[in-house]
Structure 1
């Protein structure tokens, strides 16, 4: 006689209470709720901006500016999302952006034209990511320490290259990307690059073996190793990815500002981490969302724009951002405790 199937049990061997969904079944629903919540916050900010400064905030040029500014930090945040999902951290992203931007705008580099600037920025980002990855994955260094060292070194090298001066870009092909004539159906090229990076990042995290391995390493590195995943190589690849994103962001910043400065990327690491956190990526690793991170970037960029249009001081803006980060972490802890 066939025995009836027993109800599923949780990891402690207990049967989930009747009417209560299993934790893994509730994850997609929670992700949907989180995304809708972020969209609600963004919509509320748009309403606030429209009410307080209707003529300026809702102007097409201002909305294009918000999206353009979000593109630079957004590309960095995509790479940061992968690193945090794996259980790591990268404090060097802002300094790497600065180093890549000044190295790509030296007189010697600009002699090679558009391709020289773009390739240099990407190669510098990859090089810094390689150093971070080797120190962490094969050198056994804690990510916090390794990337903090890279932060200091990259900032110092960027200052040494520029000697504290601004390096002006003279290549028309680079500067033209920031002009309105280069917009595609009213969309700035930088925003299109951001959309492309976001799409590739989403597919990589959600639809590939690389993404599944990233989540597995962040959830339990030892279990991932026992399952046959080369954890060290995976971590190396993740920091290479973060460095590549920094290189792309550096090029976008060069286009946006028309120059390279050692002060570029200031506090980008905090903005990228904050955007990933409020988007739903767990600081402890094991869960990441590109969609949430992008919404987090848009929320912070919109807040900055609203504060600027209303002539509010930057210290109030930082307090507001800090309150959002604390709230997001508390919500994450509450969600984790109920899982």
Structure 2
């Protein structure tokens, strides 16, 4: 019984460490670009950039806590954006476009879950295959062309251009998804079952949890988040494209790992994942403001991921008898 307060305390310490890292990055920004980094417009830019991958990160957190992995999130988001903008060319309205994006994302995620749970395909292979297939379908539907959101569907674009209290509406959508994800993970039976399935699937099965059905739902939830992210990316870029979401799966997985979620499942938090995401977003922003090479940015991100995994392994080793 004493283990759970200790785990909670460890999570709080990790969150404080992530906040400290963000503060350190902010100090670097103030030191290198004081005239631009701390401006209101730049802070809004950081939040807007974080919104798209952030929504995907919420779904990824559930999947990884549940003991899985999803490499197809970027391709699913691209497919949802292309499908929705294809409907737009047929003069369907913004409501139909949004519903289409959500249904495509959720449906594709459910296919992942069915392949993994009932087809017994390894999550890495199943989602890798879906990444390739969804990306190919998006290219075929769009004929490798960028599809514009039509003027009569400007309500979608308003999510990016419209502001409340000076903050873009997409940021509020992001915040709402984070809040809903936190409640679902921490205050519902679904969340408790997610931890149980990720921690020990066999024990969860013996305890009466339908592990296969729950796994399907986890991937469906991840797909739903991809559909929401597709709406956000359409609002921000006014386009649907098969190139949307390139490497988003790696950014989402990296944010979840940095946030303290174990790749083996059974442990993690939404707050940690979002803090990890903000760290990566601020790093990207600092590289852009300082005119640094994109290749160097990718190298830095890779090193951070390796260090985070090594720290996880060290932490697990220190708790081993």
Q: Which TM-score band (shorter chain)?
A: over 0.9
The corresponding residue for 2:181 is 201
Classify the secondary structure of the residue corresponding to 2:261: coil
Is 1:228 equivalent to 2:208 in the alignment? yes
Q: TM-score, normalised by structure 1?
A: 0.91
Match of residue 302, structure 1, among 267, 282, 285: 282
Gaps of 5+ in 2: none
**Are residues 160 and 330 of structure 1, via their aligned partners in 2, closer, same or farther at CA, if it must alter by over 3 Å?**
same
**CA contact 1:66–1:301 (8 Å) conserved in 2:** yes
The corresponding residue for 1:17 is none
Is 1:242 equivalent to 2:233 in the alignment? no
How far apart are 1:319 and its partner, in Å? 0.9
**Are residues 116 and 110 of structure 1, via their aligned partners in 2, closer, same or farther at CA, if it must alter by over 3 Å?**
farther
Which 10-residue stretch deviates more, 53-62 or 292-301? 53-62
The corresponding residue for 2:159 is 177
Matched residues in 1 for 2:3 and 2:172: separation? 37
**CA contact 2:81–2:230 (8 Å) conserved in 1:** yes
How far apart are 1:108 and its partner, in Å? 4.8
Gaps of 5+ in 1: 1-7, 9-21
The corresponding residue for 1:326 is 306
The corresponding residue for 2:272 is 292
How far apart are 1:62 and its partner, in Å? 1.4
How far apart are 1:94 and its partner, in Å? 0.4
**Are residues 107 and 202 of structure 1, via their aligned partners in 2, closer, same or farther at CA, if it must alter by over 3 Å?**
closer
The corresponding residue for 1:100 is 80
Matched residues in 1 for 2:123 and 2:283: separation? 30
**CA contact 1:277–1:329 (8 Å) conserved in 2:** yes
Question: CA deviation digits over 1:51-83, x for unaligned, max 9?
Answer: 111112112111111100101000000000000
Map 1:264-279 onto structure 2 (within 5 A).
264-279=244-259
How far apart are 1:176 and its partner, in Å? 2.1
**CA contact 1:53–1:310 (8 Å) conserved in 2:** yes
Matched residues in 1 for 2:5 and 2:51: separation? 34
Match of residue 131, structure 2, among 151, 165, 168: 151
Count of aligned pairs between the two proteins: 317
The corresponding residue for 2:57 is 77
The corresponding residue for 2:47 is 67
**CA contact 1:95–1:155 (8 Å) conserved in 2:** yes
Q: TM-score, normalised by structure 2?
A: 0.96
The corresponding residue for 2:9 is 29
Matched residues in 1 for 2:106 and 2:147: separation? 22
**CA contact 1:98–1:261 (8 Å) conserved in 2:** yes
Matched residues in 1 for 2:304 and 2:28: separation? 17
**Are residues 26 and 155 of structure 1, via their aligned partners in 2, closer, same or farther at CA, if it must alter by over 3 Å?**
same
Matched residues in 1 for 2:159 and 2:196: separation? 39
CA RMSD of aligned residues (A): 1.2
Matched residues in 2 for 1:186 and 1:110: separation? 34
The corresponding residue for 1:11 is none
